[in-house]
Amino acid sequence: MDNQPTAPRTALSIRGLSKTYKGGLEALRDVNIEVNEGEFLVILGPSGAGKSTLMRCLNRLVEPTAGAIFHQGREITSPKQNLRDLRRQFGMVFQQFNLVKRVSVLTNVLTGRLAYRSAWRSLFYSFPQADKRIAVECLARVNMEHKAFQRADTLSGGEQQRVAIARALAQQPAVILADEPVASLDPKIARQVLNYLKQISRELGITVLCNLHQVEYTREFAERVVGMSRGTVVFEGVSSQLTDEVLHRIYYRDPGDADREDAE
């Protein structure tokens, strides 16, 4: 089906990534993924598959134990990488929205600009006019500009998630990491939110990585799918290739296999 004239450029290259947490939990084991520039990639898997850890390795909220990640050819897992510069390029959207509830919608979106501004200026809670313009434009992109002055806790879940998307957009990121963005929303609102994410990806050329655990949404929205189970990649392909056999591999790994691992 895909007949693009040129081969897509690689945006992210994840190589041999592993993460073992302090308590000994092995969240990721030798994960290798290539992400194309501007694509909408869904990472599908059950809870505990390591999807969230993978995302947090990309913006280094979590430090990987082994392996490397390259963004546009530069190694972002290198100790020399400046975290502020790195995180600025990765917008993040969360399952619980994570807005600051007691402040206005607009202020929440403006926090997406913080990494561009000095702490000194932030001390006065002031933002330049240019940032305010960006924030309002980002709100307009998710059709939330009419609620700019409302407190975030007066919004419904779907509206809060749209504001959270606007906050990520305000960073003017190259990549958006959406970690189970619709897990706490009802199906109608969930589709609306996923539509906004997809639209942003298409219109602005932003690469979107989206963690999901629901197969229906994945079939509907994904351009490409990476299936994860127990910290490893078990499938890579397009959504039409999500056969029962593949889903079984993602959600119910061979029980003999599971027994062996549990016994370890």
Partner 1 sequence: MAAPNVSAVASGMPGADRILRELQSRKTWRVHHLLLAAAAIAFLTWCADAVDLRPREVIYAIPVIGEYFARMWPPKWQFADNLWQPAAETIYIAVWGNVIATLIGLPLGVLAASNVTPSGVVRNGAKAILNLFRSISELIWAIFFVSAVGLGPFPGALALGMNYGGILGRLYAEAIENVDRGPIEAMQATGAGRLQVILFAIFPQALPQFVTYNLYWFEVGVRSATVLGMVGAGGIGFELVTAIRLFEWREVGVVLLLILGMVTVIDFASTYLRSKIY
Give me the residues that bind partner 1 (CB under 8 A), please.
Answer: 59, 61, 83-88, 90-92, 94, 96-103, 107, 111-112, 114-115, 119, 122-123, 125, 164, 167-168, 171, 177
Measured CA to CA, the distance from residue 158 to residue 184 in angstroms comes to 9
What's the distance, Cα to Cα, between the start and end of the chain in Å? 43
| Closer residue to partner 1 in complex, CB, 56/213 | 56
- Beta carbon of residue 240, minimum distance to partner 1 (angstroms, whole number): 33
Measured CA to CA, the distance from residue 174 to residue 213 in angstroms comes to 24
| Closer residue to partner 1 in complex, CB, 32/96 | 96
| Closer residue to partner 1 in complex, CB, 59/232 | 59
Pairing, β 232-237 against β 26-36:
unpaired
Beta bridge partners of 175: 90, 207
Provide the edge-to-edge strand list for the sheet that holds 66-71.
26-36, 10-20, 66-71, 74-75
| Closer residue to partner 1 in complex, CB, 13/184 | 184
Amino acid in the structure at residue 170: A
| Closer residue to partner 1 in complex, CB, 90/235 | 90
Dihedral in degrees, nearest 10, Cα atoms 142, 194, 60, 157: 70
- Joined together, the tokens standing for residue 262 give 């549990």
Please answer whether residues 114 and 122 qualify as being in contact, where contact means their C-beta atoms are separated by less than 8 angstroms.
Answer: yes
- Beta carbon of residue 140, minimum distance to partner 1 (angstroms, whole number): 20
| Closer residue to partner 1 in complex, CB, 120/264 | 120
Nearest to 190 by CA among 231, 144, 156: 156
- Beta carbon of residue 164, minimum distance to partner 1 (angstroms, whole number): 8
Please answer whether residues 250 and 43 qualify as being in contact, where contact means their C-beta atoms are separated by less than 8 angstroms.
Answer: no
- Collapsing DSSP to helix, strand or coil, 150 comes out as coil
- Collapsing DSSP to helix, strand or coil, 195 comes out as helix
| Closer residue to partner 1 in complex, CB, 44/164 | 164
